[in-house]
A and B are shown apart, each in its own frame.
Chain A
Amino acid sequence: MCLPMQSDPMQPVPVRVLTRRREVADTWTLELEPGDAAGRPFAPGQFNMLYVFGVGEIPISLSGDSADPHRQVHTVRAVGPVSRALAALSPAATVGLRGPFGQGWPVEAAAGADVVLIAGGLGLAPLRPALYYILSRRARYGRVALLYGTRSPGDILFRRELERWRRRLDLEAWVTVDYAGSDWVGCVGVVTNLVPSASFDPADTVAFVCGPEVMMRFAVAALQKAGVDDAAIHLSMERNMKCAIGHCGHCQFGPLFVCKDGPVLSFERIRGLLSRKEI
């Protein structure tokens, strides 16, 4: 399917589902066509708007490798009407796609520094492209640590890949769960507990954090305690994003439009907002 670039940023392009894979009980990964012969280049941390015919449209972050703009990979947790419909699509089905949108992880600016990626639950999905990016240019970065926390061993996303990453000698990959049975040999506890165990030079570290807002607040506190500067901590924020282009107003977070100024924002910019109720 080859379509020209849309002049109306609100108009989706129909694209086919290429593959669909179940990750964990309620989470699927969909690989979509780009809807453009030239591919649809994106930056790690950006998102697309996905429309299911007759159901609705939601923002879903890109979870695949930005080196391949011909595959738009999205990892979706089926929790609402649209995400459930998305997760139920079979290959060959068509969805409407707009994007990519937003500001991603500052992967280029992080070159030369140690990088700590902290993911909570589905928050691993938008961080995966950043990790792909860094690992494919591994020599340009200092120490790299991935700290991932999820509910239980059965909820671990991208499990085979995580196991591969854990075997690497140039990456520290820590996984912790909230609760586990006796067959679990890893850590138990919240992901922020892992921060003191990871090896990085706080004075020269860039941190990428994605997860539930409360988890990100604690992650920031743990990073600050370790000595990481506020400007070096980057969070991927979630707000109600409807248009993705800063026109509908729903995702406002103080002066910021999370859709176009974010979703990745440095903690320095949102320090005064994150601690406040109902902003």
Chain B
Amino acid sequence: MNTTSDLALITPDGVRRLIEVLTARGYRVIGPTVRNGAIGYDAIDGIDDFPVGWTDEQDGGYYRLRRRDDAAFFGYAVGPHSWKRYLHPPQLRLWRAERSGDDMRIIDEDDEPPRDAFIGVRACELNAIAIQDKVFLGGPYVDPHYRSRREGIFVVAVNCAVAGGTCFCASMGTGPRVGSGFDLALTEIVHDGAHRFLVECGTDVGAQVLTELPHRPAPPSDIEAARAIIERTAQSMGREMPATDVPALLRRNLEHSRWDNVAERCLTCGNCTMVCPTCFCTSVEDETDLSGATAARTRRWDSCFTMDFSYIHGGSVRSSTRARYRQWMTHKLSTWVDQFGTSGCVGCGRCISWCPVGIDITEEVRAIHEGECDGDDS
């Protein structure tokens, strides 16, 4: 474990050097960058690719980039991408089959994945990765595709210096301070003097990488400044999950009238499931070439909001919007706990910002909580 004496200070040039060091060590460096009017995670070559001086404004169904009055690298909350895009890719060719007469061969298609270094992983996202670890690595069956991607990663976490308008990690106990699961953790300080980053090492590899960067011991004043920044972020969350036993609340209220209410707003578009950093559901698609000699199976992200998702002979188990929204939310916040021993929600707020009609998961829980007497079986 690190003590405060292990904390170091690096400059923006140190971050530039960090990307070089990681690249030299063979990592593909993935970090935040501006894409299509939003901050996403993509391969980056250097600090110029960061969203320097950008921040975001977020609310229910609302996400806009805004200029900051400084040159901060990490002065925003989370965008539509999450790291699951790299660990659990949206589309993945699983295998290919070849047929010749009555014979069939099945050929593994997933090549050796790149070794990724993730820069700018937030506390909520570290928790999301830990949750997907339980899904894909923690049960009787291990997903080898997830494992091969997950094993090699180098994680540079960032303590959030601003809370987004839809953030609620503080009420989920998943942030804004990063806890574990990182190699290095940065806290960006842009005020009171030079632009600088407090660095904490989480692993031996992280400590080795730090030795290759120009750094100096962090003065107590900067350690205190970083603490205050994280504290202020925690105090300025845009949303809050009601402080109640949410899994039990939802278990008791499967027939609450609020499900009908939300069904009138929900478009069942599935955006919430695509942007959620923990939603893991997939489907497979088989394709065949025109000659009929080769076929291939691709796994792609799927969403419990589609009719196909629960289809069995005779029809969909969940054909109403009410049932599909209820499935998503009760899974995320309640049955996930039964399945994996943790909530499936990390309070990142993406599902609120990217919902085209601005449905707010914290507001839906609050409505069920406050209107519990409406429930027919409460």
- A96 in the interface, Cβ–Cβ < 8 Å? yes
Contact of A239 among B94, B136, B281, B312 (CB under 8 A): B312
Query: Which residues 193-210 in B have Cβ within 8 Å of A in the complex?
Result: none
A57 touches B284 (CB 8 A): yes
The stretch of A141-149, A202-210, A222-230, A253-261 that contacts the partner chain = A253-261
Q: Mark A45-76, 1 if CB is under 8 A from B, else 0.
A: 00000010111110000000000000000000
A257 touches B282 (CB 8 A): no
Chain A residues contacting B153 (CB-CB under 8 Å) are: none
A254 touches B99 (CB 8 A): no
- B304 in the interface, Cβ–Cβ < 8 Å? yes
A250 touches B94 (CB 8 A): no
Query: Which residues 202-220 in B have Cβ within 8 Å of A in the complex?
Result: none
Query: Which residues 118-167 in A have Cβ within 8 Å of B in the complex?
Result: none
- A189 in the interface, Cβ–Cβ < 8 Å? no
Q: How many A-B residue pairs have CB under 8 A?
A: 120
Min CB distance B29 to A, Å, is 28
Min CB distance B46 to A, Å, is 37
Measured in the bound complex, the distance between the Cα atoms of B142 and A252 in whole Å is 18
Chain A residues contacting B135 (CB-CB under 8 Å) are: 247
- A199 in the interface, Cβ–Cβ < 8 Å? no
Query: Which residues 67-112 in B have Cβ within 8 Å of A in the complex?
Result: 94-95, 97, 99, 102-106, 108
Min CB distance B87 to A, Å, is 13
Measured in the bound complex, the distance between the Cα atoms of B145 and A10 in whole Å is 10
A249 touches B282 (CB 8 A): yes
Chain B residues contacting A254 (CB-CB under 8 Å) are: 335
Chain A residues contacting B339 (CB-CB under 8 Å) are: 255, 257
Min CB distance A143 to B, Å, is 34
B302 touches A250 (CB 8 A): yes
Question: Known: A94-B102, A252-B335. Contact between A279 and B317, CB under 8 A?
Answer: yes
Question: Known: A94-B102, A240-B309. Contact between A246 and B286, CB under 8 A?
Answer: no
Contact of B338 among A92, A247, A255 (CB under 8 A): A255
Interface positions of A (Cβ within 8 A of B): 7-14, 16, 51, 53-57, 79-80, 92-96, 238-240, 242-243, 245-250, 252, 254-255, 257, 260, 276-279
CB<8 Å pairs between A and B, sample of 5: A10-B143, A54-B295, A249-B304, A250-B302, A252-B327
